[in-house]
């Protein structure tokens, strides 16, 4: 019924609409609707266009540049020739250092940036930014280096690290020699043994991965450069990751890695050593000590062959007069060197050089070398240093040696100061400042509470020394009281010199000094006669 009523009323409305407006009324209705919608769209379009033009005109006069001027200006700038870029080439303030550094920067940019960057753009601004970042880092590094006190590092820490490295290497060689011919690859075994000994001596430090793995070495250098850039670069440049990574890779792979590879190249080291000793005469005593301490038969044979060649050359000369005496002396010296080499090779090949403890048992009481003689003899001091390193008393020995060096340096500086004062030159404050800094460096390194390891000595003497350093001018004798106490401690403490005389290192020291010999060697061809009653007359005169 509801649907019928709806259809009925709908039909009635349609009939009335057609009767009233005619049969075409529905088309007119649709047309009126379309006209209404079209008119509204046209009005909206015209109104929006006018408002947009007004807003655009306001924007052009407010902050947007005129397009008719900007495009030609850009074209003009692009056509203009590039202006020469002025670069401040000063880095450290020393021209002899700045020029090589500038060359390193230029070559690094050439080899690692320019070869690919010029394929993308000819604009020099990017290269300039990288160059300025590198130069800024070098300037900051130079400034911080000048503020750093390098004396304790170069005189103590660097020397200690180098000595520790040599001791680790010698111990590794000893272990390899004890194993004998059981190893297939001796070079690889030596590397593994070296780092095992390093862990034993350094406790928690081992550098095997950094030293043996190129990938880990590059990673370590990248981390090192990252830390340096964080310290040296401005915050804005460091936060720029692209710039930071560029500079980091240039420093690590372009500078540090090739530098390390070159410094660790055996041929480069040999050439550098030859260059250093070319203008200086080798000390005869030092040369003979090296031969007597050498454990490498190949090196001894090479020295022997070289001496034989020189001997043949001298014998072939036809001389007369005063020159013949000089040549005879040279021939005798070369014959002595050859005899020492033969004697050393004979000992190493027979195995008697290694078993020095059994060798010493044939004599009963050994020769006694006083401590003061050990401290001034290079060969003996090396064995005593190794022993002190084992017992943990190396700080006392290093302190004694450092004070000796300070005393000599202070005496030389004061003598130079006195001579300059006589000539009318005044540099008193500067010289005293250097001596005070050196004295404070020794105090901080070995006697202060922050020292590690610290020399265990009477606190009253240390406090008296600190007061003297703070209120008086330093003198060469300022450490004498403490040095004397340290010497007495090393001499009388059972852990040090008394125990050293009972150690295998003491026996080896006597053997290296030719103060201990097998009876079968007595009167051998090493050219030196010795007595074995405690008064040696050979290499060391007591």
**What is the residue-wise DSSP string for 10-55?**
HHHHHHHHHHHH-TTHHHHHHHHHHHHHHHHHHHHHHHHHHHHHHH
* Nearest residue to 465 via CA among 492, 433, 496, 439: 439
Whole-prediction pTM? 0.48
Residue 378 domain flag: yes
State residue 427's pLDDT score. Answer: 59
Give the Cα separation of 269 and 96 in Å (integer): 24
With helix as H, strand as E and coil as C, how does 372-394 read? Answer: HHHCCCHHHHHHHHHHHHHHCCH
For position 222, what pLDDT does the model report? 92
Tokens 């990248």, located at residue: 222
Say yes or no: 121 and 33 in one domain. no
8 Å CB contact between 355 and 541: no
pLDDT for res 534 = 35
Query: For the CA atoms of the chain, what is the radius of gyration?
Result: 43
Contacts of 97 (CB under 8 A, 6+ apart): 91
CA distance 141 to 231: 9
Judgement on whether residues 53 and 95 belong to the same structural domain of the protein: no
Co-location of 51 and 137 in the same domain: no
What was the pLDDT predicted at 477? 86
Distance between CA atoms of residues 295 and 512, nearest Å: 11
Beta strands, E only, 142-240: none
Spatial contact of 368 and 491, defined as CB atoms under 8 Å apart: no
Q: Are 130 and 113 in contact (CB under 8 A)?
A: yes
What number of CA atoms fall less than 13 Å from residue 415's CA on the CB side? Answer: 7
Which residues neighbour 491 within 8 Å (Cβ) at sequence distance 6 or greater?
Answer: 371, 497
Task: Look up tokens 């807003």; give the residue.
Answer: 55
The total domain count for the chain is 4
Alpha-carbon torsion (121, 123, 126, 131), positive or negative = positive
Q: Which residues of the chain have pLDDT under 70?
A: 1-2, 23, 59-68, 78-87, 180-185, 281-282, 318-322, 351-365, 423-429, 516-542
Indicate whether 346 and 405 sit together in one domain.
no
CA pair distance 530, 541, nearest whole angstrom? 11
- What b/e sequence results for 425-464 when a residue is b if at least 16 CB atoms lie within 10 Å of its CB, and e otherwise? eeeeeeeeebbbebbbbbbebbbeeeeeeebebeeeebee
Q: Tell whether 246 is covered by a domain.
A: no
Q: Are residues 401 and 493 in the same domain?
A: yes
Say if 57 falls within a structural domain. yes
Phi and psi torsions of 136, nearest 5°? -65, -40
Q: Looking at the structure, do residues 86 and 26 belong to the same domain, yes or no?
A: no
- Residues 342, 388, single domain; the answer is no
Residues 508, 405, single domain; the answer is: yes
Contact 387, 453 (CB under 8 A): no
Provide the CATH number for the domain around residue 400: 1.10.167.10
* 303, 319, 353 - which closes a domain: 353
| One domain for residues 317 and 388 | no
Place of tokens 């330093």: 474
Q: Other C-beta atoms within 10 Å of 274: how many?
A: 9
pLDDT number for residue 268: 92
Give the Cα separation of 46 and 272 in Å (integer): 88
Looking at the domain assignment, is residue 31 inside a domain? yes
Number of other residues whose CB lies within 10 A of the CB of residue 114: 14
Asked whether residue 95 falls in the same domain as residue 49, the answer is no
pLDDT of residue 306: 92
The pLDDT of residue 305: 92
The string of pLDDT tens digits covering residues 204-237 is 778 888 888 889 999 999 999 999 888 888 888 8
Per-residue DSSP letters for 215-258?
HHHHHHHHHHHHHHHHHHS-HHHHH-HHHHHHHHHIIIIIIIHH
Helix (H, G, I), strand (E, B) or coil at 275: helix
**How far apart are alpha carbons 221 and 257 in whole angstroms?**
8
**Does any domain span residue 30?**
yes
According to the model, what pLDDT value does residue 184 have? 57
Q: Please report whether residue 41 resides in a domain.
A: yes
Tokens of 335: 């014959």
**Closest listed residue to residue 380, CA positions, set 504, 541, 489, 512:** 512
297 and 408 fall within a common domain: no
At residue 86, the pLDDT reads 66
* Residue 263 CB neighbour total at 10 angstroms: 10
Handedness of CA 59, 65, 66, 67 (dihedral sign): negative
d(CA 151, CA 271): 28
CA angle (55, 58, 63) in 5-degree steps: 120
Q: Which of 473, 411, 487, 480 is nearest to 440 (CA)?
A: 473
**38 within domain boundaries:** yes
Beta carbons of 167 and 201 less than 8 angstroms apart = yes
Domain membership of residue 28 as a residue range: 20-61
For residue 9, being part of any structural domain is answered with no
Q: Rounded to the nearest 5 degrees, what angle is found at the Cα of 237, between the Cα atoms of 234 and 243?
A: 145
What is the C-alpha separation between 402 and 396, in angstroms, rounded? Answer: 10
Question: Other C-beta atoms within 10 Å of 256: how many?
Answer: 19
Domain final position from 12, 35, 61: 61
Please state, in angstroms and rounded to a whole number, the distance separating the CA atoms of residues 130 and 146: 25
Q: Is the dihedral of CA 262, 266, 268, 273 positive or negative?
A: positive
For residue 1, the model assigns a pLDDT of 62
159 burial type by CB count under 10 A (0-12 exposed, 13-18 middle, 19+ buried): middle
Let me know whether 335 and 461 are in one domain: no
């Amino acid at each position: 019924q509801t649907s019928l009523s709806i259809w009925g009323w709908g039909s009635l409305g349609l009939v009335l609409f057609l009767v009233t407006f005619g049969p075409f009324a529905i088309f007119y209705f649709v047309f009126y609707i379309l006209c209404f919608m079209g008119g509204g769209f046209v009005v909206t379009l015209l109104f929006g266009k006018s408002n947009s033009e007004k807003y655009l005109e306001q924007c052009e006069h407010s902050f947007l540049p005129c397009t008719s001027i900007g495009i030609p200006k850009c074209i003009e700038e692009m056509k203009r020739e590039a202006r020469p870029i002025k670069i401040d080439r000063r880095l450290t303030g020393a021209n002899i250092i700045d020029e090589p550094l500038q060359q390193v920067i230029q070559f690094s940019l050439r080899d690692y940036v320019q070869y690919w960057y010029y394929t993308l753009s000819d604009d020099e601004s990017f290269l300039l930014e990288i160059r300025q970042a590198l130069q800024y880092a070098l300037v900051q590094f130079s400034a911080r280096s000048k503020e750093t006190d390098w004396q304790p590092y170069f005189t103590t820490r660097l020397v200690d690290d180098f000595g520790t490295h040599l001791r680790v290497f010698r111990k590794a060689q000893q272990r390899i020699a004890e194993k004998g011919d059981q190893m297939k690859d001796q070079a690889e075994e030596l590397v593994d043994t070296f780092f095992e000994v390093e862990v034993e001596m350094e406790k928690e430090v081992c550098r095997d991965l950094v030293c043996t793995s190129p990938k880990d070495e590059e990673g370590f250098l990248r981390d090192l450069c990252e830390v340096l850039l964080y310290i040296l670069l401005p915050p804005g440049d460091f936060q720029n990751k692209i710039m930071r990574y560029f500079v980091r890779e240039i420093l690590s792979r372009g500078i540090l890695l090739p530098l390390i590879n070159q410094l660790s190249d055996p041929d480069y080291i040999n050439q550098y050593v030859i260059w250093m000793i070319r203008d200086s005469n080798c000390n005869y005593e030092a040369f003979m000590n090296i031969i007597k301490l050498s454990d490498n038969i190949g090196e001894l044979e090479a020295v022997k062959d070289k001496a034989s060649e020189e001997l043949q050359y001298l014998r072939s000369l036809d001389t007369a007069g005063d020159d013949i005496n000089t040549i005879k002396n040279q021939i005798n010296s070369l014959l002595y060197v050859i005899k020492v080499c033969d004697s050393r090779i004979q000992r190493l090949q027979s195995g008697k050089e290694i078993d020095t403890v059994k060798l010493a048992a044939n004599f009963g009481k050994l020769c006694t070398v006083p401590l003061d003689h050990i401290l001034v003899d290079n060969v003996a001091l090396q064995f005593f240093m190794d022993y002190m390193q084992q017992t943990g008393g190396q700080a006392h020995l290093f302190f004694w040696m450092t004070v000796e060096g300070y005393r000599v340096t202070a005496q030389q500086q004061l003598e130079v100061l006195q001579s300059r004062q006589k000539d009318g030159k005044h540099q008193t404050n500067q010289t005293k400042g250097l001596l005070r800094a050196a004295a404070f460096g020794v105090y901080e390194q070995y006697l202060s509470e922050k020292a590690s390891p610290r020399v265990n000595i009477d606190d009253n003497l240390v406090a008296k020394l600190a007061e003297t350093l703070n209120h008086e001018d330093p003198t060469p004798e300022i450490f004498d009281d403490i040095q004397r106490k340290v010497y007495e401690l090393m001499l009388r403490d059972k852990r040090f010199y008394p125990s050293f005389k009972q150690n295998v290192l003491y026996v080896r020291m006597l053997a290296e000094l030719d103060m201990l010999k097998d009876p079968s060697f007595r009167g051998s061809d090493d050219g030196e006669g010795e007595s074995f009653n405690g008064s040696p007359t050979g290499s060391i005169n007591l």
